[in-house]
A and B are shown apart, each in its own frame.
Chain A
Amino acid sequence: MNLDELYDRYGEKMYRYLALRLGSPEDAEDVLQEAFCRLARYSVRRALVRNPRAFAFRVLRNEANRHLAKRIRRRAEEASDPGERDSLASVIEGPDEARPAALARALGGLPDEQRDVIILKVFEGFSFKEIAAVCEVPANTAASRYRYGIEKLRSLLEGKI
């Protein structure tokens, strides 16, 4: 599968994943570009993989993690507010409406690894096996993270936390 085809098939979904993961449309655009540059270098692997979607998201996730690590380092150096990264207001439609805003806030309040699994499962429709391949963890771990994440979300939405 060439890059044009890959983008046409998964580009929008990849962008959505990044937007939810990073909480910034500009960062999502930059990281998507970086991920495609990396995918361009992996032409042989790209031709050999059985599941191109899982492969593309794995590369994307690694790129997003690199970006987050850089961002955390930068913020630590600048000693700014670390809570800023969890805001999803700039990437969702109707951020001023109460319900989506509360949901986005709750999703943003999850630990990164749980949010990662929930985005892949709920928004991208990945199976636990595919999530395991993307996140490089056993499928059971992916399922546990999902379960804990959903539980925490529910508590957040019900105002228990």
Chain B
Amino acid sequence: MNEDEARDVEERLKEIQVKPAPPGLRRRVLDAAAKHKEGSAWTTPLLRWCLAACAAVILVVFLADGFISRSQTHRLEALLDGSRPATSWTDDGSRALAEVLGEPVAGKLLARSETAAELREKGEPLRREEILKELLTEDFDGSESKKDTR
């Protein structure tokens, strides 16, 4: 079949006139679509509020965690370097330390920080290396290590 014959068939087909859509179909179709969209939305207003609240809580937790970690790091560094007073750490931490490590160990650590504070007052700051050396060579079960006892 050549192109002319095909065009002839096309022209004849165009004689078919389809009846127009009934009046009111547009409104019916669009109303149904709008209703369907409302019904199939995966979030309800309440769920949207809950999601927003959860997101806010998660954000606050992350920010607070970062802030607390940073301040704790600063306090620990201050304590180990002996460059800044660590009284606030000892005051705040003594109760928590006693709970976590037990009274004898917490007592030792607190005594250590008091010594550091005293030395600092005398102008002889206890350096990080010295504290670490002592911590590494000492057991916290009340007995001195073999190296120290010798």
Residues of A within 8 A of B (CB): 3-4, 7, 11-12, 15-16, 19-20, 25, 28-29, 32-33, 36-37, 39-41, 43, 88, 91-94, 99-100, 103-104, 107, 118, 122-123, 147, 150-151, 153-154, 157
Contacts and interface: CB of A to CB of B under 8 A. Distances in A.
A145 B32 CA distance: 35
Interface stretch (B18-26, B69-77, B78-86): B18-26
Contacts, number: 97
Given A40-B37, A92-B19, A151-B1, A33 B29 contact: yes
Nearest to B7: A150
B19 to A, nearest CB: 6
Given A3-B33, A41-B40, A154-B9, A19 B19 contact: yes
B14 A122 contact: yes
Contacts of A93: 17-19
B25 A29 contact: yes
A25 B22 contact: yes
A154 to B, nearest CB: 5
B36 interface: yes
Contact of A150 (B9, B18, B28, B29): B9
B30 A91 contact: no
Interface residues of B, number: 27
A118 B1 contact: no
Given A29-B25, A36-B29, A41-B36, 13 more contacts: A11-B21, A25-B22, A91-B19, A92-B16, A92-B17, A100-B16, A103-B15, A103-B16, A123-B14, A147-B1, A147-B6, A151-B1, A157-B12
B13 interface: yes
A29 B22 contact: yes
Residue among B1, B14, B18 with max Cβ neighbours from chain A (10 Å): B18
Closest 10 CB pairs of A and B: A93-B17, A37-B36, A40-B37, A40-B33, A36-B33, A15-B21, A16-B18, A36-B29, A33-B29, A122-B13
Given A3-B30, A36-B33, A15 B25 contact: yes
A161 to B, nearest CB: 14
